Structure 1
Amino acid sequence: MKDLPVDKGTRVTLHFALKIKDGDVVDSTFEKEPATLEIGDDNLPENFEAYLMGMKAGDRRTYEVPPEKGFGQHNPSNLQTFKRHEFSADMVLEQGVVVSFADARQQELPGVISRVEGDEVEVDFNHPLAGRTLEFDVEILDVEPVGPAH
């Protein structure tokens, strides 16, 4: 079974690291327990799953992930301006502070304050990694079929 390639219908145990190219590590399992996921279970964005396809136990690769394949380009229309009085009076409003809003479906929607000027507070709802080129380092430890063995 060690030759089973990663594909739909497989459970994969792996170590991974996600880094900003030439920068900080965003997330890594190399110093911890490995991650286990089923391909197609939405634990990993589809674009990242695509890099794993065909890899086998024992493979280790590093991929450069452009913004289009990662978290998208930075979208200026995801910047929204609010009035100071729309926030609670005791809330710290300064650049870099993460604030949480509820969207139309009452799902939590985090944003980062990008600018505070007079009575205006600009909030950036882009993913923090939008527009960044990432490095995706993957080591496949095990690949097994999901469900009953045939």
Structure 2
Amino acid sequence: MQQVQSGDTVKVHYHGRLTDGTTFDSSEGREPLEFQVGSGMVIAGFDNGVVGMIVGDKKTVHIAVEDAYGPKNPEMVIEFPRDQVPADMPLEKGMRLNLNNSQGQVVPVVITEILEAAIMLDANHPLAGEDLVFDIELVDIVGEPSRIIMP
């Protein structure tokens, strides 16, 4: 049986949730997620979680904040002047917006607070600061010649 190693391209089905059980993503009803193990295409904890699996294996992986999206960075919470927001734009706490940084890149943010002269925007990844749990099923190891692991 071929075991997943770093450098392999794999296909997995997954169900991601927070430690309180809230689902934040799932491949259910979609094609499996395909990625190269060890390439940085997915978070480190997910990457490490598939190593050693064989096709058909299912497992649950608990990923600490440090191996997921990292801790929340307080410097990513910014105060944005209210007078730079279109007057007719309705604002609500929790609303998602896109800003452009000085290089013209789009930065997704969430409104965390609405003040009289400003709005507070959080540019942290929505899952920053969270421990994550993934149920993973290895569907395929793509394009790899048979590699037999001897006991």
- Superposition TM-score, scaled by structure 2 size: 0.86
Partner residue of 2:138?
A: 140
| C-alpha contact (below 8 Å) 1:9/1:145 kept by paired residues | no
Q: Distance in 2 between matches of 1:55 and 1:25?
A: 23
Q: What is the RMSD computed on CA atoms of the aligned residues?
A: 2.1
| C-alpha contact (below 8 Å) 1:55/1:140 kept by paired residues | yes
Segments of structure 2 that go 5 or more residues without pairing to the other structure are 147-151
Q: 1:8 Cα shift?
A: 2.8
| C-alpha contact (below 8 Å) 1:5/1:56 kept by paired residues | yes
Runs ≥4 in structure 1, deviation > 6 angstroms? Answer: none
Which of these residues, 94, 98, 101, is aligned with residue 99 of structure 2? 101
Which of these residues, 26, 29, 45, is aligned with residue 28 of structure 1? 26
Instruction: Give the direction of change, closer, same or farther, for the CA distance of 1:109–1:11 in structure 2 (3 Å limit).
Output: same
SS in 1 for 2:102: coil
Q: Distance in 2 between matches of 1:32 and 1:132?
A: 25
Q: 1:31 Cα shift?
A: 3.9
Instruction: Give the direction of change, closer, same or farther, for the CA distance of 1:71–1:6 in structure 2 (3 Å limit).
Output: same
Q: 1:95 Cα shift?
A: 0.5
Q: Pairwise mapping of residues 118-137 of structure 1 onto structure 2 (< 5 A)? A: 118-137=116-135
2:84 aligned with 1:86 = yes
Aligned residues: 147
SS in 1 for 2:75: helix
Q: Which amino acid aligns with 1:141?
A: V
User: Percent identical across equivalent pairs?
Assistant: 32
Partner residue of 1:17?
A: 15
Q: Distance in 2 between matches of 1:13 and 1:71?
A: 22
Q: Distance in 2 between matches of 1:127 and 1:67?
A: 12
Q: Pairwise mapping of residues 70-81 of structure 1 onto structure 2 (< 5 A)? A: 70-81=68-79
